[in-house]
Amino acid sequence: MKQQAQLKRSLGLWSSLALVIGTVIGSGIFFKQASVLDYSHSTTMALLAWIFGGLLTLASGLTIAEIGAQMPHTGGLYFYMEKIYGKLWGFLSGWMQIIVYGPAMIAALGSYLAVLLVAFFDLPNSWEHPLAIFSVALITIFNLLSNRYGAAFQILTTIGKFIPIIAIIIFGLFFGDHNALGNVVSQSSSSSTGNFGVAILATLFAYDGWILLANMGGEIKNPQKLLPLAIIWGLVIVLVAYILVTWGIFSVLTADQIHQFGEDAAPHFASIAFGNLGGKLLNIGIIISIAGCLNGKIMSFPRIMYAMAKNDDLPFSKKLAYVNAKTHSPMIATLVIFCIAVLMILSVNADRLTELCIFTVYCFYVIAFCGLFKLRLVHPQRPRPFSVPLYPWIPLIAIGGAIFVLISEIISDTQGVLVSLIIVIVGIPIYFYKNRPER
């Protein structure tokens, strides 16, 4: 009998680092400055919000790093939930990610990339949907090849996205003529309602995506060592970059200017710093940044579907678990995720869908973080290739941060929370159908 092809462990430290950095840094750092500032009302508090958001995310990364080092397999959060809490919890976390959250993230990034391309080349707005689909299709085709190609593209785009980041940092730190701290948005111009907690929440969305490397656990060389290293150092690099970019922008633009420009604050910064050409160059950097982020999502989310299919958790599992013998890529799973993303581009507001799923993602985050305590209690003698420092305080901070997101979502978007819970509940009958006794 011919042996079925398997995923190949070919991702090293640099590829893994690029996946963490590339899936976190998309457009958020460039376009979230105004909203974080408006919620916090001063540049000092806004900078603190970025720092607190990064530290909460780092605590989450350290917690998952210990779990992931013990379970270095494809599927990430889905696999962890199943092994710690049982098949139903694993299925529901995977179901939510592959049916809505993953495709919606891909659709939203593809749509935003298309908006930037239309603006950059001065094309009609009617080109947005075709360009979004073309962009997602092109990167999907790239990921049907060996994961070495996707990893190489991720490294190149990660390097490319640091060009505008470094330019902003250098100009802001050395040529900015404003004090980055203590600058307050005037009451007359500030119409946003919010507080420091809401500002932190806004930064947490810009930091999200780091856990997707865990989906590739079965393709990382020496994952017990490299998975924690990549998550931790990747998040440290992102945290430092976000802080310095924020400081750079605050050194060049006043708080009122950032509030006035809104999402266009970063392009205005580029125009002030580098002239009219600066805005175009920054747009190229952001396009590269989003392309790299999109590539990371397209690489990682099909691995969840593949892992679920390998466990026969999904309809048509045998087909969805197919791995090409030459490229060692989960081709059918990748194409299915692509098709769902295209449907979302054409029919719904993918941005809204990602907002709806944030609540459920963080529900599973909380449960997974608590799972670290269960692992230590139930399996105290199990070898731990990586142990979270300052245990139990770091995991408790991660749990507290995730609970903070959940409470904030319930208060700010109760209707969306209910819709997101319904999406998860829909998966329950499918799970029991697949696991019915007569099978």
Show the tokens assigned to 235: 């998040």
Residue type, 431: Y
Q: Distance (Å, rounded) from C-alpha 166 to C-alpha 139?
A: 26
User: Is position 233 within any domain?
Assistant: yes
Q: How many domains does the chain have?
A: 1
Q: Distance (Å, rounded) from C-alpha 137 to C-alpha 304?
A: 19
User: Is position 411 within any domain?
Assistant: yes
Inter-residue contact 221 to 74 (CB < 8 Å): no
pTM of this structure: 0.85
Q: Distance (Å, rounded) from C-alpha 13 to C-alpha 63?
A: 19
- Residue 186: what pLDDT? 75
According to DSSP, the residues that pair with 11 across neighbouring strands are: 220
| Terminal-residue alpha carbon distance, the chain | 24
User: Is position 88 within any domain?
Assistant: yes
- Residue 409: what pLDDT? 82
Residue type, 122: D
Q: What are phi and psi of 291, to 5 degrees?
A: -60, -40
Q: What is the mean pLDDT of each run of 10 residues along the chain (439 residues)?
A: 58 83 79 82 90 93 91 85 92 91 87 84 88 93 79 82 84 77 65 68 82 79 86 93 90 82 74 75 82 88 90 87 82 93 85 74 92 91 87 94 87 84 90 76
User: Is position 2 within any domain?
Assistant: no
- Residue 2: what pLDDT? 46
User: Is position 242 within any domain?
Assistant: yes
User: Is position 291 within any domain?
Assistant: yes
330: helix, coil or strand?
Answer: coil
User: Is position 111 within any domain?
Assistant: yes
- Residue 191: what pLDDT? 46
Supply the CATH number for residue 26's domain. 1.20.1740.10
Inter-residue contact 222 to 305 (CB < 8 Å): no
Q: Distance (Å, rounded) from C-alpha 144 to C-alpha 157?
A: 18
Q: What are phi and psi of 145, to 5 degrees?
A: -80, -175
User: What is the DSSP secondary structure assignment for residue 2, as one 8-state letter?
Assistant: P
User: Is position 78 within any domain?
Assistant: yes
Question: In terms of residue numbers, what domain contains 78?
Answer: 13-434
CB contact burial 84-115 (16+ within 10 A = b; e otherwise): bbeeebbbbbbbbbbbbbbbbbbbbbbbbbbe
